[in-house]
Chains A and B, each alone.
Chain A
């Protein structure tokens, strides 16, 4: 994008290279010049790698590392949104408060249940789709691009459409339920229906994306593994169980970790699923996630210190999940 040069590595003229002097140097002036160029060359070799990586690290330090540490610091203080520079040390008060807070536990539970009912079906469906797409197909590129269309749709647009589709009185889903003789469901007010509805937005947006990741991993599996399994008389189902799944294990672990992180941070979908209730996640907090609760504490109730403590608690929970994941995958590897 930045360059129009089509040739790779055109010989660069005019520069002096070490070990390839332009001729036998005679005059002292030329020797000095060569020494200077050589010094510059050495400096270039030595320091340019740092020049190339430093912009990333400088920007990361300012917008990643510093905020990360500062959140930890702020979580030990009382800080209000109205005066973010006035900090009063309170030690671990913010954390102990959180642990006594029923809304925090409610949000934690909701995050867990919404996380499970959005991640598990999503990854299972993605696996099935990837398997189908791995066959020889007419128009396979078309399906791949179509699958990715939800990923291109923003959280805001997707959530608002699903709000309409899940509407209680005139929504299409209740209309369809009615059509096949089932009772209408109050998708916004009841606990499980609302959580299922929020999860369906997540599932819709991410299934195709995950299917592509599985598909890529499947295509990297050497074909002869299937050939030899087939010659041993393995059915296609057994090939899937005994060849595909083991080969995909690292990829599955990767998608589980990424989806878990994504689920733990769920914010836009529940926020917009009931936009008029603000950040409460429904009239009874029935689908308030930790992300929403953090926002409610920090930006609605204006307690930035408490919000920071929630952020760090979420981080610690993620680390625990990561360790559990790691242990499970090691066990699995050891047992097979």
Chain B
């Protein structure tokens, strides 16, 4: 499937020698065709729509509440941005929340990538009894809605006295059926059997094969999966909201959600917190956006 992404578009069919008639315009179809001005206008509108709420978060955070309670709403920045961010950072626990979320998302992403790679390798390249049935189970588990598990999970966490502690969020996010599926699909075509056999003939044990052959071959997919998992755990809301309170180890989502409560909430402060909670991920996107886009598109075309 990666090949379909990198492959140059098919060669145009040689012009049929038809006298006096040009090839129909529509022959330059699909991906071959240059976009017209209307396409650019639509894309510009869509870019505006995608970015406007984000930019406006910053505008709202840079104003005070009185200005936000006036019409027309502000369209440009005021001078309070740094103040609000500082208040959100110190008073509203955002600093701690960002640290917590980084820890949780980091541990989850690294573990998911590691476990998914070795399991995906086994499913893609090793023969063992029950392989197909187990793989079917993995795919099946992707269908289970999380609501079904949260009640007993909550009871487990309460029993273990993990409420308000980060491991309550970390443990359930250590495995991902999607991750196993993703790595299997990747390794099926990215890792030729001959290389594994060659390593075997040289006397490599299975762990050595993993370390010296599978990991290097899987590195691009591992990076993509790691980023996808990081984003997912960072933005997870329901579960952290249930097991973490604002007072004990909130994640970013819990802290930001907490800002919205109260009967006279400080709107500008809420926006400051929301901005602060979103910035780290937007930064990741600005840097790795291209790879993440590629990863999502790669995961989308299932073989």
Residues on A facing B (Cβ under 8 Å): 1-3, 5-17, 20, 41, 44-46, 48-53, 55-57, 59-60, 63-68, 70-71, 74, 84-85, 128-129, 132-137, 141, 143-158, 160-165, 169-172, 175, 178, 204, 208-209, 212-213, 215-224, 226-227, 229-231, 233-236, 239, 243-244, 251, 254, 261, 264-265, 267-268, 271-272, 275-276, 291, 294-295, 298-299, 304, 307-308, 311-312, 314-315, 318, 322
Q: Nearest-CB distance from A163 to chain B (Å)?
A: 7
Q: Nearest-CB distance from B41 to chain A (Å)?
A: 10
Contacting pair B122 A164 (CB below 8 A): no
The residues of B that contact A53 with a CB separation of less than 8 Å are: 118-119, 122-123, 134
The residues of A that contact B298 with a CB separation of less than 8 Å are: 216
- In the complex where A15-B203, A53-B122, A230-B29 touch, is A275 in contact with B53 (Cβ < 8 A)? no
Give bound CA distance, A2 to B159, whole Å. Answer: 35
Asked if B139 is an interface residue, CB under 8 A from chain A, the answer is no
Contacting pair A229 B237 (CB below 8 A): no
Q: Nearest-CB distance from A298 to chain B (Å)?
A: 6
Contacting pair B277 A156 (CB below 8 A): yes
* Selected A-B contacts with CB under 8 Å, 23 pairs: A2-B114, A3-B216, A5-B212, A13-B202, A15-B204, A15-B208, A17-B203, A52-B206, A64-B149, A64-B175, A68-B149, A145-B285, A146-B50, A147-B50, A148-B292, A152-B278, A156-B237, A157-B256, A161-B57, A165-B53, A178-B71, A216-B301, A265-B146
The residues of A that contact B149 with a CB separation of less than 8 Å are: 63-64, 67-68, 71
- In the complex where A49-B126, A154-B278 touch, is A9 in contact with B199 (Cβ < 8 A)? yes
Total A-B pairs in contact (CB under 8 Å)? 396
Q: Closest 8 CB pairs between A and B? A: A15-B203, A145-B289, A226-B29, A216-B297, A67-B149, A48-B206, A223-B10, A157-B274
Q: Which residue of B lies closest to A45 (CB)?
A: B206
Contacting pair B237 A154 (CB below 8 A): yes
Interface size class of B (residues with CB under 8 A): 35 or more
Give bound CA distance, A219 to B3, whole Å. Answer: 11
Contacting pair B43 A143 (CB below 8 A): yes
Residues on B facing A (Cβ under 8 Å): 1, 4-5, 9-10, 12-13, 16, 24, 26-35, 39-40, 42-43, 46-47, 49-51, 53-54, 56-57, 60, 68-73, 110, 113-116, 118-119, 121-123, 126-128, 131, 134, 137-138, 141, 143-156, 158-159, 171-172, 174-175, 177, 180, 195, 198-208, 210-213, 215-217, 219, 222-223, 226, 231, 234-235, 237-238, 241-242, 252-254, 256-257, 259-263, 265, 267, 270-271, 274-275, 277-278, 281-282, 284-286, 289-290, 292-293, 296-298, 300-302
